[in-house]
């Protein structure tokens, strides 16, 4: 990788940095986070591995671009029948 190259994934999870549409980036990233949560869920419970992958993915997204992502993630999960409770947003 050369200096100035943009890293466009985190552990194979796309970051969509090459998409010029911020709204689409946010939706796609929220879907990826929902996929990570679903991947680490079994019988309605989320296992401990989800924290590392979620935090790592979120930290790979520029801070200002993370604003508003969690409510969208929760909406995506809800459409899949997964409800997360106990979050103070």
Write b or e for each residue in 48-78: b if 16 or more Cβ atoms lie within 10 A of its Cβ, otherwise e.
Answer: eebeebbeebbebbeeeeeeebeebbbebbe
Q: Is residue 28 part of a domain?
A: yes
Q: Is residue 85 part of a domain?
A: no
What percent of the chain is predicted at pLDDT more than 90?
A: 52
Q: Output 14 or 2, whichever has higher pLDDT.
A: 14
Quote the pTM value.
0.84
Q: Is residue 73 part of a domain?
A: yes
Domain span at 63? 9-79
């Amino acid at each position: 990788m050369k200096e100035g190259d943009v890293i466009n994934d985190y552990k194979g999870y796309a970051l969509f940095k090459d998409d010029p549409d911020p709204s689409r980036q946010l939706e796609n990233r929220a879907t990826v986070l929902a996929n990570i949560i679903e991947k680490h869920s079994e019988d309605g419970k989320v296992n401990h591995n989800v924290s590392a992958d979620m935090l790592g993915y979120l930290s790979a997204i520029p801070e200002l671009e993370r604003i508003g992502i969690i409510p969208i993630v929760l909406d995506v999960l809800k459409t899949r029948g997964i409800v997360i409770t106990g979050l103070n947003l």
